[in-house]
Amino acid sequence: MLKTIAVKALLGAGALGVLGGSAALAGAPQLSANLAAATTPKATPNPARNVHRAGGTIIKLSDTEMTVERQRRDPSTEAVTKDDVTVELNSHTSVYFFGSKDKHGLEALKLGQDVGVRYTEVNGQKVARGVVIRPDHRAGRIISKDADGKSFTIHAANGQTVHITTSDKTRFVEGVGKSKKSGSYADLKVGDRVVVLGQEDSQHNFDAAVVRTANRDAHPGAATTPAA
């Protein structure tokens, strides 16, 4: 009698074990899903997706707003269309000159400048986050070098003379393509043809970011205007 009761009790415990194991197995997928949900980082909005870019010429400018005119060319018809984009300017708008990481204030912006704009849309308003002032250029033949060892004057194709100023940040390049090499202010000679990338300052001096000369070795006696 006692043996029969013991056997039934043992069988009952085994059944409970099987049922418990089955319940645990049945709940395993849900447990795994909950665990995965708890350990997987939640997706966060990517602010970069809200950033837009535009480039063109500044045609309207105030302390709080800027309008840029951009041109688009239809590759199939070669037709050029123009449209405008107006962005808000504020104290958080960063202004840079091309090739420099130095930040400038909004006073560096001027009508007629060629700029690239990075902006976001906030409540339907385009707000400029960053503006890059793209370099202007001057091309011509050097007619004189100044005694300061930093500036020179060129005679441009339109007949004007332009005073070029350089600094320790100016990059000098000689030649193009595979023949291109680094140069210096000391390498410049009267009569050289140059293309200068930079910006005109308030004193009408042209501050050079890059000065490129023709490669004298590759084109002896027949220097042409080098590509910018």
Domain that holds residue 74: 47-133
- 209 domain residue, yes or no: yes
Q: What is the Cα–Cα distance from 216 to 175, expressed in whole angstroms?
A: 8
CATH of the domain at 164: 2.40.50.320
Average pLDDT over residues 34-49: 49
Residues 40 and 53 in one domain: no
Evaluate if residue 227 carries a pLDDT over 50.
no
CA separation (Å) from 29 to 16, 21, 36, 37, 39?
21, 14, 10, 12, 15
- 224 domain residue, yes or no: no
Residue 54 is encoded by which pair of tokens? 């535009």
Residues 167 and 118 in one domain: no
pLDDT, tens only, 187-223: 999 999 999 998 887 788 899 989 999 755 544 443 4
Determine how many CB atoms are found less than 10 A away from the CB of residue 147: 6
pLDDT, tens only, 4-16: 544 444 445 444 4
Evaluate if residue 123 carries a pLDDT over 60.
yes
pLDDT at 221: 41
pLDDT, tens only, 85-113: 999 999 999 999 887 888 999 999 999 88
Q: Which amino acid is at 164?
A: I
Please report the beta strands in 2-135, taking only residues with DSSP state E, as ranges in sequence order.
51-61, 65-73, 80-88, 94-97, 114-122, 125-133
- 7 domain residue, yes or no: yes
- 225 domain residue, yes or no: no
- 118 domain residue, yes or no: yes
